[in-house]
Amino acid sequence: MANREYTLVILKPDCIVKSLTGNIISRLSEARLRIVGSKVVRVSRELAEKHYAHLKEKPFFNDLFDYFSGKIYGEDYERVLVFVYEGEDAIGRVRRIAGATNPFEADPTTIRGAYGRINQKGVMENVIHSSDSPESAEKEIKNWFKPDEIVEDIYPTKKVKLDGSEARVWAE
């Protein structure tokens, strides 16, 4: 494959609240990529701060966390669905289907343009996250997944001793 890429995709809590999960996965399947990892995750403050390190110091980070963790929708929705997609130009393909960050500026045929909104706190509830470069994809995938949760060897790993047994972790 000429330009094999991996990308982290997160279906954010608003996607789950709006029952859009199946719809969004169908839209993504049109990109002809392959899922190599998937799970449902409850987002801790620590994980959110790692994932959105570039926004951690922004005045709206608390409100962003309340949205991204699903807290604003109640306990039943405090979760996200996380995927690693693999394929030719995976990062660009998913970003194009997702649309611009601001749902009001996004093309109306994109996921964010069709289903996003800006909430009363000013947070852009835009349904989906996807990595924006190979470097951030690698960083993000390593933050969200352990090597053994991905069905292919995508980045180098190493073996470490954990409580007497061996575990595989990301090499760096």
Angle at 75 between CA 116 and CA 104, to 5 degrees: 10
Tell me if 123 contacts ligand UDP by CB under 6 A: yes
Residues in Cβ contact with 136 at an 8 Å cutoff, skipping those fewer than 6 apart: none
Q: Which is nearer to ligand UDP, 64 or 137 (CB)?
A: 64
124 is a contact residue toward ligand UDP (CB under 6 A): yes
* 129 counts as catalytic: yes
SS3 track for 28-67: HHCCCCEEEEEEEECCCHHHHHHHCHHHCCCCCHHHHHHH
Q: Among residues 110 and 126, whose Cβ is nearest to ligand UDP?
A: 126
Q: Which amino acid is at 16?
A: I
The pair phi, psi for residue 88, each rounded to 5°, is -60, 125
How many CB atoms neighbour CB 45 within 10 A? 10
- Out of 39, 101, 107, 133, the residue judged to bind ligand UDP by CB under 6 A: 101
CB 135 to ligand UDP: min, Å: 13
Can residue 93 be called a binding residue for ligand UDP (CB under 6 A)? no
Backbone conformation region of residue 13, classed left if phi is above 0, alpha if psi is from -120 to 50, else beta: alpha
Q: Which of 129, 140, 147, 150 is catalytic?
A: 129
Among 24, 126, 137, 154, binds ligand UDP (CB under 6 A): 126
Instruction: State in angstroms the smallest separation of the CB of 126 from ligand UDP.
Output: 5
Active site residues: 129
Using CB under 6 A as the criterion, which residues of the chain lie in contact with ligand UDP when the complex forms?
Answer: 52, 55, 60, 64, 101, 123-124, 126, 129, 132
